[in-house]
Amino acid sequence: MSRYDVAIIGAGIGGASLAAEVAPHARVLILEGESQPGYHATGRSAAFWSETYGGPNIQPLVIASGDFLH
C-alpha cells in the first residue's frame, strides 16, 4: 500500500501547480475525477496577451512581460 503526505483533489492548473510546488518536499497524490487533467475551467481558458489589459497599476507590468511572452 502506498503512503502519501499530501492528497490534492483536482488536476487542473491549480492542483497541478500545487503538486509541482509540494513534490520536492513531500509524497504527493493527485486525485482527478475526469479522464484527463485540466478538463474543466483550465481546459476552456483562453490565453491571450494584450498590452492594454488592466488599469494604470497593471499595464506597466503587462507591457514589461511582452518581450518574454512573444
Output Rg (C-alpha) for the chain, integer angstroms: 17
In a domain, 17, yes or no: yes
In a domain, 13, yes or no: yes
Backbone angles phi and psi of 66, in degrees to 5? -55, -50
Residues 6+ apart with CB under 8 A from 50: 62
Residues 6+ apart with CB under 8 A from 61: 54
Give SS3 for 36: coil
In a domain, 1, yes or no: no
Ranges of residues in the chain whose predicted pLDDT is under 50: none
The predicted-structure confidence for 15-31, as pLDDT tens digits, reads as follows: 999 999 999 999 999 99
Per-residue pLDDT at 50: 87
pTM: 0.59
In a domain, 41, yes or no: yes
